[in-house]
Structure 1
Amino acid sequence: MEPHLTRLLATNDPPPEDSMQEITQLMAGPLHELAQANQRIADLEAQLQSAKESRERSKTPCTDYHTIMSPIPDEAPLLLTRISSGWRSLYISFCDDYRIATPFAHAPHGLAVPPAMLGGAQDSEADLRRTKAFRILTQRAQIVQEWLARSGTCPLSISLSYTSLLWNPRDLEEPYHPNDPTTKLFLTLLAHSHHLRSLELIMPIEIYRQLDDLVSEPPADAVVTIDLSALRDLKASLYEQVPYPYQGGDTNTSQIHPVALFTAPNLRRISMDGYPSNGLWAQKTLPFANGGMGLRYFSCHLIHSHEECLGILTECPNLVYCRFHLGPVAPTAMHEHGRGVTHVSMPLLRAFAVVDAEAGMDDTSTSFQFFSAIDAPSMHYGDVPLPPPPPQNGTAAHPHPSTSTSTRTHPLLPLLAKSLQLRRLTIDPYSFSPAELRGALRVVSPTVRHLVVGQEALPYDSFGDMKLDFGFLVGRGKDQSRGREAEEDEDEMESSKSSSSCMPIPMATDTDTGAPRCAPLKLVRVLLTRPKKVDIKEALELYCREHGRGLNNGTTHEPGGAGPRHNNLRLEMEYDTQAAPIITDPLSSSYGLQNDRLWPHLDLDLGL
């Protein structure tokens, strides 16, 4: 800066006119240089962004190739296991959890491998397949033994799945042999029973009986101390190999015995599937330690009678989460124990899920008595998927409830009316008439903030229209019964439905100023069981503009040009992703895995 201009920086006086003209001329050069510098910076930033995008495009395949070439992850903390044996031992000994999931199959000594594992091979090829199966399963049992030997004292989570294909159960009657891969695997698990925290079993009951026998009477040549005091979580899907009935087997219900693992002293979580329930409830007391008083989580995917479930709830008053599948079954001792129960207090129950096949029938007296008897004042989450009966010859076995004009009280209402802390409700509208559904929503409206409308996936296509009928849910303006406090709404949609089915969303989410009981929704989440094909959000915006109402960045526009009103509504669309290829070879180490897990059911994780 020129010296005679410097003095102007020390005063607030306006500069003379000649000085301003001089300053303007002096600024021309620096301003031009600044513009050039800014342009160069912008160009460099654009090049940098382009280089970053190019790097990301190249990085993805390189990462995949690296994973193939180096199966052991090289990121922390597993990187510590590759430094030295000392570091490896230190890392493994301080693991919070040690997880192993392994598919398996029965391959007893003598190579009596299940025929389904032979892949259709005959004669000499079948012999080679048997030899390969025995070798692979023996190696797999050895690998599990080596991994568990490195587990130190950290808690174990083990998932074990046996192929559900066919073999002759008579093969299981041969004497104990130490070279049997199944025996070796079970003995390895029992040797680490003292720090076994979570166990997941998917296998035929005939195979499980081998484990049961080893628990009750370990072989003399096996040094094993059974200690199940650390077991907290047990998932058991035990089913019968019915194609080959044999004398004295579990196909005779009088011979069915309770599962020994259910008696673990500190068991808190039980999930069951597959095994006939009439064998479990042969007595009036449950086959759990302390009669079930210590259980906090009970999820059963077997069908029980309403009376059986009341008996179970009576014996397990400390449950925090409970799931039942109700339906007609043969009477049992537990059925008789629950008969006549008119009140069951569940003070700790926070989540209750029920699949009730009777709720959609004409006679719902048993369901009404069941729900009326339960008192769960702390329940925050209710899940009531009520699947319709399977279709018969292409027609429904029962009339569609949406056509019903019945004024009955739905059997679920007594429980909902007593659940004064209910915050989230998952409900299947199939078993409700329009009046019943509006009545149910009116009952829960003071407290429910998260409403999910839909049903569990069924093995047959039935009544899909109910999943998308938003007008049926809110009554098309006849009776605004959506929750006062409801802030989230979810709806599950079938893959067969087109994107145009989402058009009623604005109608269902608009809140009339003349209906103050209805709160504006903040979130609508739509789950579609198909890949994304069209942009539903864009189609919805177009629909809204054409009909004078709409959703636009959380703003709902009033019809007639009355101006926008903000309701902070957010629409989320979730699509089904491309499923990984199914592994069909029973000898594959990934056989039976679904999304890195073996257990086929989704259970709530309540941190129990």
Structure 2
Amino acid sequence: MSSPLASRLGTNYSAQDKEIDEIKALLVEPSQKLKRLNDEIAVMRKALDKLVEERDILSTYVDTHQALISPVRRLHLDILEAIFMACLPTHRNCVMSAQEAPVILGRICSSWRTISLKTPRLWSRLHIVEPSYPYHLPPGVYQSKVEQRLEVADAWLRRSKTCPLSISLESSYDYGMGPPFTHPVTPNAEPFLDILIPFASRWQTISLAISLSAVQTLLRLTENEVPLLKSLMINERLDNPHDISQWTLPQACILHASGLTEFSLMGRNAHSPDLPLRWSHLTALTLMGSGWGPGGSTVNPQTCRVVLDILSRCSELRACTLLVHAPLDVHLRDFVVECPFLHTFDLFCDDIPLQVADRLLSHLSLPELRDFKLRGVKLEDPQSAFSADSVLSFLTTLTQLESISVDSAIFSKPILINSLHALPPTVLHLTITNPTWRPPGREDAIFDDEVLEALATFPDRPSHIPALQEVVVHYCPKLSDEALLRFIMSRPTLKLVDIKFDRERKIDILPSLQPFTEAGLKTSITYSTLPPPQFSPWQGLPDVPLTLWGSP
């Protein structure tokens, strides 16, 4: 509609007195027409509301009758139970949450709730978390939460009827914390363990992160009380950081269970060979005890001699993770321990790691090894003249090796390069991790362009690892973008390159990699980015916005 005041509309213009009567006269007819339209709309809306009401009644009638012939209602009970089982997580135990199965299955309808509660296998796996103490709440609230969780855990496991059980228990991390974090109530895993013990006859896979006192409770169980036990994992957490007291190890304890084939122990200070395990039955073994007491004192260190003694007893071992301590055993006899079935070996060497590994590997024969990890916590002296001949020789014997992962800092650069050259041609996956922290006097990083070039393939130099498909390198400040690009272009058969730089990007190589990614190469190349300077006018004030500190 045209208006004589079109130029004034939508502006802040205020009508003059002489224009007011003109505007009122102008709006008489439009206002009458607007009223007629509103009346017509009201009539039509009433008719529409009536139609919607009739539609909803019919829709409800149809839907409720169609539900009677719904395919899911016609499923046989066995099929529905199988579907329910497929809803459970496969990589871990179930949690006490209505956001996932099996709990959520009972929230769909009464029928499904009845079926889920009467399907024992749904309740045969459980992850229990001991509540952490909430500092801002009174002790009674914490205790109420503990009792609630104990009640749920007991009810959950009773629903499993006679099924073998898989249980994991995660105790609080707050043990032994002093002021100002001292709790009015000290977290205690023993009540949770007390809930689990009545079901011990059905334990099959048990993983426990518990305190030393709770471990003592666990060890009171005899082998006859756990007839189904196949896997036991214990992560011992000290009630007090200075507590190095030893376990009591009766020969008839749970560790001597006849069916126990997988055993994992972390945080243990006892002499590992004294554990009353049926060593010849084990197929998977993890021993990651600290071995050290307060002030750096040695408490039953797991030396090369101890490790060789253990491995010599484990004739059926398939997978193994071991922490080995110095000092080096200088009087090892000239013998070799063979593990004929071992396919996965994770070796963590504490203190002078390369020399410890060199000594240990010189006494091992692992003909079926396919996955090897060599880790350590102490950086190798770059000026060290140590040659690591046994490590190099060991690598050449691994004719079945497919995956290898190493911490680069336990090597000097020449030894790392020689080790890469010594890898067998069967290697498919290579992972190299560089330290994110380096002590004073050791600011250089071992992994650089020269090391990566040792893996490259050139027309005049065939590859040392022709089958290599995946390369993962994390935290490499000295590796250049250009060297990475040359390496990838030299190996067109690569399927995965995962590189994490702890520096900012200097050159964008992704456009140059497009032909390779289009051919199927998967790449993950990330850089660390320094946070931008903050120039907030709120800085230093108590009500500073959270986004100043990087929070959402």
TM-score normalised by the chain length of structure 2: 0.63
Is this contact kept in 1: 2:116–2:122, CA < 8 A? no
Is this contact kept in 2: 1:453–1:467, CA < 8 A? no
Deviations 1:316-355 (A, max 9, x none): 12110111122226x9xxx99x953621111100011112
Mapping of 1:120-135 within 5 angstroms?
A: 129-135=138-144
Take 1:410 and 1:133, find their aligned partners in 2: how far apart are those partners?
Answer: 57
The structure 1 residue matched to 2:276, chosen from 287, 293, 306, is 287
Take 2:207 and 2:188, find their aligned partners in 1: how far apart are those partners?
Answer: 19
Is this contact kept in 2: 1:319–1:349, CA < 8 A? yes
Is this contact kept in 2: 1:444–1:483, CA < 8 A? yes
How far the C-alpha of 1:266 sits from its partner, in A, is 1.2
The structure 1 residue matched to 2:373, chosen from 361, 371, 383, is 383
The structure 2 residue matched to 1:149, chosen from 158, 161, 165, is 158
Take 1:81 and 1:339, find their aligned partners in 2: how far apart are those partners?
Answer: 65
Q: Residue 526 in 1 paired to residue 498 in 2?
A: yes
Give SS of 1:270's match. strand
Take 2:303 and 2:445, find their aligned partners in 1: how far apart are those partners?
Answer: 27
The structure 1 residue matched to 2:516, chosen from 548, 554, 558, is 554
Q: Residue 453 in 1 paired to residue 432 in 2?
A: yes
Mapping of 1:416-565 within 5 angstroms?
A: 416-455=395-434, 466=445, 469-475=448-454, 482-493=464-475, 501-511=480-490, 520-528=492-500, 539-541=508-510, 550-554=512-516
Mapping of 1:126-205 within 5 angstroms?
A: 129-166=138-175, 184-205=191-212
Give SS of 2:308's match. helix
Q: Which amino acid aligns with 1:191?
A: P
Is this contact kept in 2: 1:386–1:455, CA < 8 A? no
Output the aligned Cα RMSD. 4.2
Take 1:134 and 1:358, find their aligned partners in 2: how far apart are those partners?
Answer: 43
Deviations 1:20-48 (A, max 9, x none): xxxxxxxxxxxxxxxxxxxxxxxxxxxxx
Q: Which amino acid aligns with 2:267?
A: G
Give SS of 1:347's match. coil
Deviations 1:133-185 (A, max 9, x none): 332212221111111111223332222122243469xxxxxxxxxxx986653
Mapping of 1:239-318 within 5 angstroms?
A: 239-242=237-240, 251-253=244-246, 256-257=248-249, 260-278=253-271, 280-281=272-273, 283=274, 286-288=275-277, 290=278, 292-303=279-290, 304-318=302-316
| Count of residue correspondences | 408
Aligned to 2:382: 400
Relative to 1, partners in 2 of residues 1:133 and 1:440: Cα closer, same or farther, differing over 3 Å?
A: same
Take 1:375 and 1:310, find their aligned partners in 2: how far apart are those partners?
Answer: 11
Q: Residue 351 in 1 paired to residue 344 in 2?
A: yes
Take 2:281 and 2:372, find their aligned partners in 1: how far apart are those partners?
Answer: 22
Is this contact kept in 2: 1:190–1:226, CA < 8 A? no
Give SS of 1:163's match. coil
Whose Rg is larger?
Answer: 2
Mapping of 1:87-98 within 5 angstroms?
A: 87-90=115-118, 92-95=119-122, 97-98=124-125
Is this contact kept in 2: 1:445–1:485, CA < 8 A? no
Query: Once structures 1 and 2 are overlaid, which stretch shifts more, 436-445 or 455-464?
Result: 455-464
Take 1:462 and 1:237, find their aligned partners in 2: how far apart are those partners?
Answer: 35
**Bigger relative contact order (CA 8 A; separation at least 6):** 1
Deviations 1:389-421 (A, max 9, x none): 4xxxxxxxx5336xx6x5824431232122111
Query: Once structures 1 and 2 are overlaid, which stretch shifts more, 200-209 or 128-137?
Result: 128-137
Take 2:211 and 2:191, find their aligned partners in 1: how far apart are those partners?
Answer: 18
Is this contact kept in 2: 1:351–1:380, CA < 8 A? yes
Query: Once structures 1 and 2 are overlaid, which stretch shifts more, 182-191 or 141-150?
Result: 182-191
Take 2:103 and 2:144, find their aligned partners in 1: how far apart are those partners?
Answer: 34
Give SS of 1:377's match. coil
Is this contact kept in 2: 1:138–1:181, CA < 8 A? no
Is this contact kept in 2: 1:488–1:522, CA < 8 A? yes
Q: Which amino acid aligns with 1:130?
A: P
Gaps of 5+ in 2: 1-96, 178-186, 291-301, 529-552
Is this contact kept in 1: 2:401–2:424, CA < 8 A? no
Give SS of 2:377's match. coil
Take 1:302 and 1:432, find their aligned partners in 2: how far apart are those partners?
Answer: 24
How far the C-alpha of 1:99 sits from its partner, in A, is 2.2
How far the C-alpha of 1:73 sits from its partner, in A, is 5.1
Give SS of 1:446's match. coil
Is this contact kept in 2: 1:201–1:236, CA < 8 A? yes
Give SS of 2:418's match. helix
Is this contact kept in 1: 2:124–2:160, CA < 8 A? no
Percent of aligned pairs with the same amino acid: 17
Is this contact kept in 2: 1:525–1:571, CA < 8 A? yes
Is this contact kept in 2: 1:489–1:521, CA < 8 A? no
Is this contact kept in 2: 1:270–1:299, CA < 8 A? yes
Deviations 1:292-318 (A, max 9, x none): 111111122225211111111011121
Aligned to 1:602: none
Gaps of 5+ in 1: 1-69, 106-116, 122-127, 169-179, 217-224, 390-397, 512-518, 543-549, 556-565, 578-608
Q: Which amino acid aligns with 1:297?
A: A
Take 1:384 and 1:308, find their aligned partners in 2: how far apart are those partners?
Answer: 18
Take 2:515 and 2:334, find their aligned partners in 1: how far apart are those partners?
Answer: 53
The structure 2 residue matched to 1:83, chosen from 110, 117, 122, is 110
Give SS of 1:313's match. helix
Take 2:109 and 2:441, find their aligned partners in 1: how far apart are those partners?
Answer: 54
Give SS of 1:385's match. strand
Is this contact kept in 1: 2:235–2:265, CA < 8 A? yes
Is this contact kept in 1: 2:408–2:432, CA < 8 A? yes
